[in-house]
Structure 1
Amino acid sequence: MFLLDTNCWMQIARNRPQAGDVRQLLLGVPDSRLFASIYSVHSIGTILQGRGAVAGYAAFLAGLSIGSKVQVLSVPIDRLHVVEQACITHRLDFDDAYQYAVAELHDLKIVSLDADFDRTPRGRLEPLAALSHYQASRKQNP
């Protein structure tokens, strides 16, 4: 199962170069195996507002099934020490540490374009690598 980092969602929102790769992942993996963090949901809104495009925020989330088919996860208050520890141990910015903590607490693979995750034990997969990983797992367990 995969946790998509904010930068994956923003590829689509901003029609960035890897938007097609993210779309392929979203089409090739069942929604039940895809997750977003509440931090990403709020970050998307903040970024869109900063670009004067907040009017499309709710429609963007709904269009990608974020919060309906794509489950949104958070770090419980009593587990925020996991975020803190990820900041310190892996030298991650808070946003990356939050994503890392969500992945750690829910045993998810991180899908991100951010190389900072490469220095963590969980690592990361880029969108097409995540799709390949899913497809390979389907062949092993049909």
Structure 2
Amino acid sequence: MYLVDTNIWLERLLDQDRSDEVGDFSARVPTDQLLMSDFSLHSIGIILSRLGQRDVFPRFVDDLFVRGSVHLFSVRSEDMRVLVDVMAPYNPDFDDAHQYVAAAEFNADIVSFDSDFDRTDRGRVEPSTILTE
């Protein structure tokens, strides 16, 4: 299972430099093997709204959760302490700590372009790495 970080989804949605790589990853990995945190989903909604691309968000949700089988995960209230505890040894931003805890819950690999995860014991993989496996 793969926890897909916010920056991966945005790379494709905003047609950024590595959009094709993300597209290949999305085409190759079954959606039921993908995990998204609710934090990512809400962040993407906020970013698309600020960029004036509100109409993209409902299509994105439909693609992932209605037509696809991406798992949406919320960090439980009782795990917020774990989230804060993760911040001490690795010093990630709050959003990265949130992703870390979500990935740990499912023993998922973190798919991200964010090198901050490299400082953690979970590390990260990029879409291109998965495509060459």
TM-score (norm 1): 0.87
Q: Distance in 2 between matches of 1:51 and 1:29?
A: 28
- C-alpha displacement at 1:53, in angstroms? 1.1
**Residue 49 of structure 2 aligns to a residue in which SS?**
helix
SS, match of residue 36 in structure 1: strand
TM-score (norm 2): 0.93
Alignment-derived partner of residue 34 in structure 1? 34
Q: Which residue of 1 aligns with 2:94?
A: 94
Distance apart, 1:73 and its partner CA: 0.9
Deviation beyond 2 Å, 4+ runs, structure 1:
130-133
Question: 2:103: which partner in 1?
Answer: 103
Correspondence 1:125 to 2:125: yes
Q: Assess, with a 3 A threshold, how the Cα gap between structure 1 residues 66 and 130 changes in structure 2: closer, same or farther.
A: farther
Aligned residues between the structures: 132
Report the Cα distance in structure 2 between the residues aligned to 1:11 and 1:72, rounded to whole angstroms.
Answer: 19
Percent sequence identity is 36
User: 1 CA distance for matches of 2:47 and 2:73?
Assistant: 20
How far the C-alpha of 1:106 sits from its partner, in A, is 1.1
Per-residue CA distance 1:85-134 (angstroms, 9 max, x = gap): 1222210000011000100111000000000000000000011112334x
Q: Tell me whether 109-118 or 71-80 shows the greater mean CA deviation.
A: 71-80
Amino acid at match of 2:78: D
Tell me the CA shift for residue 82 of structure 1: 1.7
Contact kept, 8 Å, 1:83 with 1:97, in 2: the verdict is yes
Structure 2 counterparts to residues 12-91 of structure 1, below 5 A:
12-63=12-63, 65-66=64-65, 68-91=68-91
What are structure 2's unaligned runs of at least 5 residues? none
Contact in 2 for aligned 1:3/1:36 (Cα 8 Å): yes
- Counterparts of 2:32 and 2:55 in 1: how far apart (Å)? 28
Structure 1 unpaired stretches of 5+:
134-142
